[in-house]
Amino acid sequence: MKLIDIQAVCTRIKSITSDWTEKPIIVVDNTVMSSYFQRPLSLGADVVMHSLSKYMNGHSDVLMGALILSDEELYRKLNFFQMAVGVTSSPFDCYLVLRGLKTLHVRMREHEKNSLEVARFLEQHPGCVKVNHPGLPSHPHYELGKRQMDGYSGLLSFYIKGKLDDVKRFISKLKIIAFAASLGGYESVCEIPMTSSQRHTPVGCMESWEITPSLVRLSVGLEDVKDLKRDLGQALDYMLSVQSSTEPVADSKNSEL
């Protein structure tokens, strides 16, 4: 959930490589934002990559990726490799993604609205220590997000007040939000990065990236946001109640210390 100033990076790279014979190719993975909320080609990127399985499709029923380019020569090179290797998608999968694209603008606005409301709710809940959502004024890259993007997706992360066992206890009580490592679909799903999507990340990298046992990633879907907040609230309340019931009772002889 950390943003990068795409235009500044592209401008800097191109300025220091202007006299190179072989120009570097700048690629941006735009999966989390989709082409509706962010368009890296207009910010200076050479290639934009999408996991079409996520927001662009939106229904969690396709495995497909895409590269979008604005350079004809680079396109021909990539197209040659595509045809030579055979990494082409089936007609039916293409149909499913085209079906999803017809509702992309509607879905992304609902993802944005729901995720912002959920993020504000979590930010005020005593069971959360910190919420990472670029649409919150508390996010360190809030101003960059407003300048670079037209909106926000349904993805956010937050740190729970507790340890890994507390996180597992919280997730076990969720009734609407499913425990899964995907994102970008119409249904809300959450995961524990340390034990799931980032489980193979070196420990040193986890520490520098602030991936801790209390971190939860949440992909907010299109359900009624009141139901989502109610689901998160009751699971967090349960976790806090267990924590308070297992806290050691202070010794009365030392109560004044």
Beta strand spans in 177-249 (E): 178-179, 189-191, 215-219
Q: What is the mean pLDDT of residues 201-223?
A: 90
pLDDT over threshold 50, residue 249: no
pLDDT over threshold 90, residue 205: no
Q: What H or E segment, with its residue span, contains residue 203?
A: helix 203-208
Nearest to 216, CA basis, from 179, 253, 185, 245: 179
Dist CA 225 CA 187 (whole Å): 12
Task: Quote the pLDDT of residue 247.
Answer: 64
Q: What is the mean pLDDT of residues 39-49?
A: 96
For the chain, list the domains and their CATH numbers. Answer: 6-101 (3.40.640.10), 104-246 (3.90.1150.10)
Per-residue model confidence as pLDDT tens digits over 160-202: 999 999 999 999 999 999 999 899 999 999 999 988 888 888 8
Task: Quote the pLDDT of residue 256.
Answer: 40
Task: Quote the pLDDT of residue 198.
Answer: 83
The proportion of the chain whose per-residue pLDDT surpasses 90, expressed as a percent, equals: 81
pLDDT over threshold 90, residue 46: yes
Q: Where are the alpha helices (DSSP H) in 3-151?
A: 6-16, 34-37, 72-85, 91-101, 104-124, 142-148
pLDDT over threshold 50, residue 97: yes
Residue scoring higher pLDDT (255 or 39): 39
pLDDT over threshold 70, residue 222: yes
pLDDT over threshold 60, residue 254: no
Order of strands, edge to edge, in the sheet holding 155-160? 128-132, 155-160, 215-219, 189-191, 178-179
Note the pTM of the prediction, 2 decimals. 0.89
Alpha-carbon Rg for the chain in angstroms = 21
> How far is CA 205 from each of CA 5, 190, 217, rounded to the nearest angstrom?
21, 22, 17
Task: Quote the pLDDT of residue 248.
Answer: 57
